[in-house]
Amino acid sequence: MNYKLFRLLVLTGSVLFLNSCDKSIDQPSLEVYEPAGLDENGGQWKPLVLASVDEVTVPAPQAIESSSYKTELQSLKDLKVTPDQQKTVDFWAVGGVYRWNEIARTLAANYNLPPVYDEIQKKYPVPDAANPKAEPKFPFCNPPYASRMFAYLGAAQYDALVAAWKYKYQYRRLAPSKVDASITPTLPLSNLPSYPSEDAVVAAASLEVLKVMFPGEVEKLTAYYEAHRNSRLWGKANVSSDLDAGEALGKAVAAKIIARAKADGMGAANNQAAVAAMVSDAKVRGLKKEWTSLDLPARPPMLPTFGNVKTWNFTEAQKVAMRPVPPPALGTAGFEKDLQELRNMGKNLTREQHRIASYWSDGVGSFTPPGHWNREAANLTRKYKENELRAARTMALVGTSLMDAGIACWDTKFYYFTPRPFQVDHAVRSTIGTPNFPSFTSGHSTFSGAAAHILGYLFPNEADALMVLANEASNSRIYGCIHYRADCEVGLEHGKAVGQFAVKRAQNDGAGR
Amino acid sequence: MPLFTCLRLLRSAPLVILLLAGNLYAQTPTDGIMMGKQLICNVASYSNSQWDQYWEGTLKRRNANVGTFTGQNVMLMSAYGLTKNLNIMAGLPYIWNKSDGGHFSRQQGIQDLSLWLKYRPLKAETSFGTFGLLATGGVSIPVNTYIPDMLPYSIGLRSRTASIKGIFHYKIKGIYLTAQGGYTGRSNIHIDRDSYQSGGKIYDTHEVSVPDVVDASARLGYINKHVQVEGFIENMTSQSGDDIRRQDMPFPTNKMDQTSLGGMAKVHLYLKNGTFFSFFGQYSQVTAGRNVGQARMYTIGIQHTFNVMGHPIIM
The 8-class DSSP code of residue A36 comes to S
Q: Give residues 398 to 437 of A whose Cβ lies within 8 Å of B.
A: 422, 426, 429-434
Q: Reduced to 3 DSSP states, what percent helix, strand and coil does chain B have, rounded to the nearest 5?
A: 5, 60, 35
Domain with B135, as residue range(s), is 5-307
Burial (0-12, 13-18, 19+ Cβ within 10 Å), B310 = exposed
pLDDT at residue number B11: 38
pTM for the model = 0.93
Q: Is residue A1 part of a domain?
A: no
- pLDDT tens digits, A64-105: 999 999 999 999 999 999 999 999 999 999 999 999 999 999
| pLDDT over 60 (residue A110) | yes
Kindly identify which residue of chain B lies nearest to residue A347, measuring between CA atoms. B105
Indicate yes or no: CB of A358 within 8 angstroms of CB of B117.
no
Q: Is residue B276 part of a domain?
A: yes
From chain A, pick out residues whose CB is under 8 angstroms from the CB of B103. 294, 422, 426, 429-430, 434
Pairing of strands B59-61, B54-56: antiparallel
Distance CA A212, CA A151 (A): 13
Distance CA A461, CA A295 (A): 43
- pLDDT tens digits, A187-219: 999 999 999 999 999 999 999 999 999 999 999
Q: Same domain, yes or no, for A248 and A281?
A: no
In the predicted model, residues of chain B with pLDDT beneath 50 are 1-29
The 8-class DSSP code of residue A103 comes to H
Q: Which of A229, A262, A295 marks a domain boundary? A: A262
| pLDDT over 70 (residue A20) | no
pLDDT at residue number B32: 66
Is the Cβ–Cβ distance between B133 and B121 less than 8 Å?
yes
Q: Same domain, yes or no, for A115 and A253?
A: yes
Q: Is residue B312 part of a domain?
A: no
Phi-psi region of B158 (alpha: psi -120 to 50; beta: other; left: phi over 0): left
pLDDT at residue number B8: 45
Distance CA A131, CA B7 (A): 57
pLDDT at residue number B311: 85
Query: How near does any CA of chain B get to the CA of A353, in Å?
Result: 11
Which candidate from A1, A110, A422 shows the least CB-CB separation from B197?
Answer: A110
| CA nearest to B234, candidates B262, B213, B255 | B262
Q: Is residue A440 part of a domain?
A: yes
pLDDT at residue number A24: 83
Q: What value does the CA radius of gyration of chain B take, rounded to a whole number of Å?
A: 20
Element (H, E) at A380: helix A368-383
pLDDT at residue number B4: 42
Q: Is residue B24 part of a domain?
A: yes
Q: Same domain, yes or no, for A199 and A306?
A: no
CA atoms within 13 A on the CB side of A91: 18
Distance CA A470, CA A489 (A): 11
- pLDDT tens digits, B84-107: 899 999 999 999 999 999 899 999
* Mean pLDDT, rounded, for A382-397: 98
Element (H, E) at B201: strand B201-203
- pLDDT tens digits, A238-275: 999 999 999 999 999 999 999 999 999 999 999 999 99
Transcribe B211-251 into DSSP letters. Answer: --EEEEEEEEEEE-SSEEEEEEEEEEEESS-BPPPTTPPP-
**Collapsing DSSP states into helix, strand and coil, what is residue B133?**
strand
Domain with A188, as residue range(s), is 42-53+81-262
* Mean pLDDT, rounded, for A216-236: 98
Q: Is residue B204 part of a domain?
A: yes
Q: Which of A234, A262, A290 marks a domain boundary? A: A262
Q: Is residue A4 part of a domain?
A: no
ipTM of the complex: 0.89
Q: Is residue A211 part of a domain?
A: yes
Q: Same domain, yes or no, for A418 and A277?
A: yes
From chain B, pick out residues whose CB is under 8 angstroms from the CB of A9. 117, 119, 137
| CA nearest to A306, candidates A372, A404, A213, A446 | A404
Q: Give residues 165 to 224 of A whose Cβ lies within 8 Å of B.
A: none
Residue A235 banded pLDDT, cuts 50, 70, 90: very high
Distance CA B45, CA B76 (A): 7
Crossing angle between the packed helical segments A463-479 and A333-348, to the nearest 10 degrees: 90
Kindly identify which residue of chain A lies nearest to residue B184, measuring between CA atoms. A17
| pLDDT over 60 (residue A232) | yes
Is the Cβ–Cβ distance between A389 and A39 less than 8 Å?
yes
Kindly identify which residue of chain A lies nearest to residue B134, measuring between CA atoms. A6
| CA nearest to B71, candidates B293, B286, B302 | B293
| pLDDT over 80 (residue A114) | yes
Q: Same domain, yes or no, for A428 and A389?
A: yes
pLDDT at residue number A4: 58
Kindly identify which residue of chain B lies nearest to residue A15, measuring between CA atoms. B162
Transcribe A146-204 into DSSP letters. Answer: HHHHHHHHHHHHHHHHHHHHHHHHHH-PPPHHHH-TT---SS---S---SS-HHHHHHH
pLDDT at residue number B28: 31
At position A393, the amino acid (one-letter code) is: R
CATH number at residue A325: 1.10.606.20
Number of structural domains in chain B: 1
Q: Is residue A59 part of a domain?
A: no
Indicate yes or no: CB of A366 within 8 angstroms of CB of B200.
no
Mean pLDDT of chain B: 88
CATH number at residue B43: 2.40.160.40
Q: Dihedral sign, CA of A421, B151, B67, B65?
A: negative
Q: Same domain, yes or no, for A258 and A294?
A: no
pLDDT at residue number A13: 52
Residue A498 banded pLDDT, cuts 50, 70, 90: very high
pLDDT at residue number A11: 54
Buried b (16+ CB within 10 A) or exposed e, A474-496: bbbbbbbbbbbbbbbbbbbbbbb
Distance CA A232, CA B235 (A): 51
pLDDT at residue number A346: 83
From chain B, pick out residues whose CB is under 8 angstroms from the CB of A24. 209
Q: Is residue A436 part of a domain?
A: yes
Number of structural domains in chain A: 2
Indicate yes or no: CB of A17 within 8 angstroms of CB of B196.
no
Is the Cβ–Cβ distance between B294 and B305 less than 8 Å?
no
Distance CA A361, CA A472 (A): 11
Distance CA A366, CA B197 (A): 7
- pLDDT tens digits, A283-328: 999 999 999 999 999 999 999 999 999 999 999 999 999 999 999 9
Indicate yes or no: CB of B185 within 8 angstroms of CB of A27.
no
Is the Cβ–Cβ distance between B138 and B163 less than 8 Å?
yes
Q: Give Cβ neighbours of residue A1 (< 8 Å, ≥ 6 apart).
A: B83
Buried b (16+ CB within 10 A) or exposed e, B239-260: eebbbbbbbbbbbbbbbbbbeb
* Mean pLDDT, rounded, for A161-171: 98
Q: Which of A233, A262, A291 marks a domain boundary? A: A262
Q: Is residue A400 part of a domain?
A: yes
| pLDDT over 90 (residue A154) | yes
Burial (0-12, 13-18, 19+ Cβ within 10 Å), B141 = middle
Is the Cβ–Cβ distance between B77 and B90 less than 8 Å?
yes
Kindly identify which residue of chain B lies nearest to residue A434, measuring between CA atoms. B103
Helices within B116-174 (DSSP H only): none
Is the Cβ–Cβ distance between A404 and A314 less than 8 Å?
yes
| pLDDT over 70 (residue A357) | yes
| CA nearest to A341, candidates A418, A403, A421, A273 | A421
pLDDT at residue number A382: 98
